[in-house]
Amino acid sequence: MKLPLCVLSVAEHAGWGHVVCVGEYDRVPTVLSRRRVTLIDPDLPTQPYHHEATALRDDEANALIARVRRSIERCALEALRRLVTELAPVQAVVALAIRRPPFDELPGTYTSVRQSYRLMCAADGMLYQLAICRAARQLELDVQMCRRGEERSLAAKQLGVTVDRADEFVSRSGRPAGPPWTEEHRRAYAAGIAALGSHVRLRLDNGRTRKSKNGRIAKLQKGKPRK
């Protein structure tokens, strides 16, 4: 039996991230779960470029950043693999959605980064963004990026509706029950819809499938704590 498809949509932070798991029921987008995942070991600085490295010699800064990068890459891979494994019995995870980094890569040395104001502003966040993308590719997921602010318009395009209609769905009629549904969650949901829409044709809920959809999602989430 062919499993329904699912996308992991990530909103990364310094040391952790929100993951909104976006699936579909009868081609209607739905949030399967949302998790907070750890993206670095607890004994390491979460923003080395902006803080700890500034007080070190360049060779010491490079060594520290290399340790931080290795930790983030390992934690990101473990977090995504765990989610893919948990969903595997009932959902086929096919893609990852994430905000597009401002640069494709980080320079190999701290000296090169600190010589650019734009790089210094972006470097710590990019440690997480790039590690998550690499982890997703290792898991053979389709990595889809979008710029901040484009999430709703991309979702609307995949759904074939106006941006206002997509926003209403993401913010209200299509939101999951449970803890507060923040702007960050809404952006991640919209980005996940956009990514999922490139793998399966989506539509908005017309009311006829909502009851059965909710029952199915309740079974999927039964026994799993919401975060």
Boundaries of every domain in the chain: 5-221
- pLDDT in the model for residue 225: 42
What's the rounded Cα separation, in Å, for the pair 53 and 174?
Answer: 44
Coil vs helix vs strand at 77: helix
Q: What angle do CA 64, 66, 71 make, to 5 degrees?
A: 100
What's the rounded Cα separation, in Å, for the pair 73 and 224?
Answer: 26
- pLDDT in the model for residue 220: 52
pLDDT, mean of residues 144-171: 96
* pLDDT at residue 227 tops 50: no
Which residue type, as a one-letter code, is found at position 59? Answer: D
Coil vs helix vs strand at 140: coil
The reported pTM is 0.89
Architecture of domain 5-221 in CATH?
2-Layer Sandwich (3.30)
| Residues 6 or more apart whose Cβ sits within 8 Å of residue 169 | 29, 159, 161, 204, 205
pLDDT, mean of residues 98-121: 94
* pLDDT at residue 87 tops 90: yes
- pLDDT in the model for residue 206: 58
Mean pLDDT across the chain, nearest whole number? 91
Residue 11 burial class via C-beta count within 10 angstroms: exposed 0-12, middle 13-18, buried 19 and up: buried
What's the rounded Cα separation, in Å, for the pair 129 and 123?
Answer: 10
What's the rounded Cα separation, in Å, for the pair 100 and 91?
Answer: 25
Give residue-wise pLDDT tens across range 171-203: 999 999 888 899 999 999 999 999 999 999 999
Neighbour count for residue 221 (Cβ, 10 Å): 17
Task: Give 222 or 79, the one with higher predicted confidence.
Answer: 79
Band (208; pLDDT cuts 50, 70, 90)? very low
Q: What letters, b where the CB count within 10 A reaches 16 and e where it falls short, cover 147-171?
A: eeebbbebbbebbebeeebbbebbb
- pLDDT in the model for residue 212: 46
- pLDDT in the model for residue 62: 96
Coil vs helix vs strand at 17: strand
Share of the chain above pLDDT 70, in %: 90
Task: Give 220 or 120, the one with higher predicted confidence.
Answer: 120
Band (207; pLDDT cuts 50, 70, 90)? low
